[in-house]
Chain A
Amino acid sequence: EVQVVESGGGLVQPGGSLKLSCAVSGFTFSDSAVHWVRQVSGKGLEWVGRIRTKASSYATAYAASVTGRFTISRDDSKNTAYLQMNSLKIEDTAVYYCTRLSPGVAFDYWGQGALVTVSS
């Protein structure tokens, strides 16, 4: 059974930092690109960024709205990906989902999401 579990969400002040984790099981994590997608309450889905596999040199890419503030990393030995969020803004408040890009080039496995609230 596939499991994708995000953790590390919470309340943080503007300008602060938070690090989300995404622990997976049930598929070969090291062979999969991992993406982060966020969703503001009641709004649509926004792609945040991705990290590719070792074979692709762990290449990362980010949405313009988070470039320079967010960093995605992974530890294949722990089947875990991370989203380091710095200089957080109120508009970063959202549920953050971790998901896998399947061989069919779509997001097939999703976590339940981690809520990040940026507020003073």
Chain B
Amino acid sequence: DIVMTQSPASLAVSLGERATINCKSSQSVLYNSYNKLAWYQQKPGQPPKLLIYWAATRESGVPDRFSGSGSGTDFTLTISSLQAEDVAVYYCQQSYSVPCTFGQGTRLEIK
């Protein structure tokens, strides 16, 4: 199984500042030039919401302050200017192989 490891486990950032979350996979998730890596945002009492797929493609309707980068085994989710509504838990997930695995989550709070 591919193990997804996120860091940090929790993060506190001031409003308007940059937030960076890292995700490392135990093996490459690159397939035919596409990284099968997605990022999700989950707020309390809600299902996860897809933010980024193919490691760097923003889902329709997602604000452009959210961006994804990385390839192979190392990935990053960046929120360029933190807004109050961005408080949530963020997960990375690979769909390169089953079982599709998620990172353990990163809790993002306002400092």
| A residues with CB within 8 A of B | 35, 37, 44-47, 50, 61-64, 97, 99, 101-102, 104-108, 110-113
A45 to B86 Cα, complex, angstroms: 19
- Sort chain B's interface into a size bin: 20 to 34
Whether A108 and B105, one on each chain, are in contact in the complex, defined by CB atoms closer than 8 angstroms, is no
Whether B102 and A106, one on each chain, are in contact in the complex, defined by CB atoms closer than 8 angstroms, is no
| B residues with CB within 8 A of A | 34, 36, 38, 40, 42, 46-50, 53-54, 57, 59, 91, 93, 95, 98-105
The distance from the CB of B33 to the nearest CB of chain A, in whole angstroms, is 13
A101 to B38 Cα, complex, angstroms: 11
Q: Cβ of A45: which chain B residues have Cβ within 8 Å of it?
A: 40, 42, 48, 91, 93, 102, 105
Whether A61 and B98, one on each chain, are in contact in the complex, defined by CB atoms closer than 8 angstroms, is yes
The distance from the CB of B31 to the nearest CB of chain A, in whole angstroms, is 9
Excluding A44-B104, A47-B99, A112-B47, 9 further A-B contacts by CB distance (< 8 Å) are A45-B93, A64-B99, A99-B47, A104-B54, A106-B38, A107-B48, A108-B50, A108-B59, A110-B47
What are 10 of the A-B contact pairs (CB < 8 Å)? A37-B48, A44-B105, A45-B48, A99-B47, A104-B53, A105-B38, A105-B54, A106-B59, A108-B50, A108-B53
Chain A residue, CB-CB nearest to B95: A105
Partner of B98, one of A50, A106, A108, A113: A50
Whether B101 and A47, one on each chain, are in contact in the complex, defined by CB atoms closer than 8 angstroms, is yes
Given contacts A44-B102, A61-B98, A64-B99, contact A105 B47 (CB under 8 A): no
